[in-house]
Amino acid sequence: MTLGACSVLESDKIDYKSSGKAPTLEVPPDLTQLSRETRYAVPGGPVTASSFKLGQATDTVPTAVTSIGDVRIERAGTQRWLVINRPADKLWEPVRDFWQENGFLLALDQANLGIMETDWAENRAKLPQDIIRGTLGKVFDSLYSTGERDKFRTRLERNATGGTDIFISHRGMLEVYDSAQKDRTVWQPRAVDPELEAEFLRRLMVKLGVTHEQSKALISAGALKNTSRVATVNGQPVVQIDEGFDRAWRRVGLSLDRTGFTVEDRDRSKGIYFVRYVEPNADKAEPGFFSKLFGPSKADAKPLKYRIAVVSQGDSTVVSVLDNAGAPDTTGTAQRIVKVIAEDLK
């Protein structure tokens, strides 16, 4: 049974569990095949959201500590990522262990691409903890559902100094009724949750040797002011970023992960991300987020492929959309993609 929004629940806690093997899913998946047994748990019990509530973005450079030992955190707007002074091949196993220790099943584990992705999972702490469920929960637990699923993608990328940048991006889905009779439901994308991303980055810092107290201080460091905007250059829609290439490259990559694009390949020397997008609910009549962006989806929808160009212009950077052949894309779709990236960069 799916619990409605009126149910009383402890929404300020997280308690994810994976109690069984998840079905093999494409990326992004069609959640109609999602098992209700897909859950994950945090060792040591649930953690309150108040322990990692994020402050509002400020208009000044933060003065808080941003590094401990060889672990540093970078932040811009709602985006955060770790910069670790260790080679990527020394971090892959610890990061994989981190997700498994937190109870996750990995649906994607590709060291050659530097990408791992969890299965879709449910925050069981959002279920009501009443006496009836406390008594019958172990027997009928699978009958309860929050109507929400989350998954996390981790990307490891070698940086110019020989260290590694680590990005964690969240994607969420929400189960909603698609008829007035409320006799059928569909899964739709829901907003990215920067607080969940920040909390798992904080926990990963602890896994890598930072203390709990230090990790909380690092994750609370203030953000820089918004430095990106949409513009038109030579008839082509672009995102202008008031930052150098290195930082802009990292931020754009995280935005692509967050907004549903799959990065199939990347060429940092040329500033190109090769991406594709598949509508999560392509076989459903109810359109998802990107079907509204790209237009109505069809049952046989094929991946949409693009190249995202990140080009340095002195102390700033310009991001544009190229078609699959590498030619500048000036269509309305390119305009919408640029707006999606710019919105996430805020």
Q: Would the pLDDT of 26 be above 80? A: no
pLDDT at 7: 32
pLDDT value at residue 123? 66
Q: Rounded to two decimals, what is the model's pTM?
A: 0.67
What's the pLDDT tens digit per position in 283-326?
A: 344 444 454 455 544 445 567 899 999 999 989 999 999 999 99
pLDDT at 250: 93
Average pLDDT score, the chain: 75
Report the pLDDT value the prediction gives residue 249, as an integer from 0 to 100.
95
How large is the average pLDDT for residues 43-56?
Answer: 34
- Does residue 224 have a pLDDT over 90? no
Q: Which of 9-13, 44-48, 217-221, 305-309 has the highest mean pLDDT?
A: 305-309
Q: Which CATH number fits domain 226-346: 3.40.50.620, 3.30.70.20, 3.30.310.170, 3.20.20.80?
A: 3.30.310.170
Q: Is the pLDDT of residue 200 over 80?
A: yes
Read off the pLDDT band of 267 (50, 70, 90). Answer: very high
Please give the pLDDT value at position 5: 37
pLDDT at residue 312, as a whole number: 95
CATH 3.30.530.50 fits 1-225, yes or no: yes
pLDDT at 220: 85
Q: Pick the residue with more confidence: 171 or 300?
A: 171
> Cα torsion for 62, 67, 71, 73, to the nearest 10°?
0
For residues 100 and 119, the answer to whether their CB atoms sit within 8 Å is: no
Q: What pLDDT shows up at residue 168? A: 97
Residue 110's pLDDT is: 93
Sign of CA dihedral 284, 290, 295, 298: negative
Name the percent of the chain lying above pLDDT 70. Answer: 66
Between residues 312 and 129, which one has the greater pLDDT? 312
pLDDT at position 187, please? Answer: 86
**Where is pLDDT greater, at 82 or 222?**
82
Give the 3-state secondary structure of residue 270.
coil
What percentage of the chain has pLDDT greater than the value 90? 42
Residue 227 pLDDT? 78
End-to-end CA distance of the chain: 37
Please compute the mean of the pLDDT values over residues 55-84 and round it to a whole number.
70
Q: Look at residues 7, 15, 37, 4 and name the one whose alpha carbon lies nearest to residue 125.
A: 15
CATH 3.30.310.170 domain range(s) in the chain: 226-346
CATH 3.30.530.50 placement within the chain: 1-225
**43-65 as b/e: b if 16+ CB within 10 A:** eeebbebeebebeeeeeeeeeee
pLDDT at 2: 43
Region 73-82: mean pLDDT is 89
Would you say 47 and 162 are in contact if contact means Cβ atoms under 8 Å apart?
Answer: no
In this structure, what token pair is assigned to residue 302? 């094929």
